[in-house]
Amino acid sequence: MAVGSLTALGTGVGAALTINTSGVTEFHDTLNANSGVSATHTNGTVNFDKNVTLGNGDTGSNFNGNVNLKGISFSGYDGISFGDAASDQTMLTAGPDSITSHNSAITFNNKLDGNQILPLTRHSRDEFNAKVGSVAQLGTGTGLALAMNSTGLSTFNDTLQTRSGITAVGPQHSIKL
């Protein structure tokens, strides 16, 4: 069942949804909310099987623990942060996936893995603070593995492994390895 399909979840003030469980939280259908999502438990896993659309409220999205994206479009505002430790993982389980953060940062504090294509669009900067592609290299081996369209710097603070190339486009966009 879709969450927020008739009326988007939340008021736009604070997180529209807070998830605080050490177990698995599954979204088998779309999620629509007026602000960001906060997954606070460091041992939890959040699975998204369908698209996520988070409106321009006053709070970004923060996912402590693990996240699985299954060929979805994830759109949010005010920053999107995955993981709170390098031992956590964001896994692209089907693809392609895309993440859009409207003029704000996309941060991966955890491992980012999956044999899928990942476009990151319309954001201010990317920060990868843990290994990328260490368990399952990004990309399919055809076309780009990682495409970043940003107005700022994309920083890789650990190893980067892909099955094909990466690109960075946008005004004043550069990559720091």
Cα 36 to Cα 66: distance, rounded to the nearest angstrom: 17
- 171 pLDDT band, cuts 50/70/90, is confident
Taken in order 59, 34, 38, 120, is the CA torsion positive or negative? negative
Indicate whether 123 pLDDT > 90.
Answer: no
pLDDT in tens, 84-100: 999 999 999 998 899 99
- Asked if residue 48 lies in contact with residue 29, where contact means CB atoms within 8 angstroms, the answer is no
**Tokens (6 digits) for 105:** 């940062």
pLDDT value, residue 122: 83
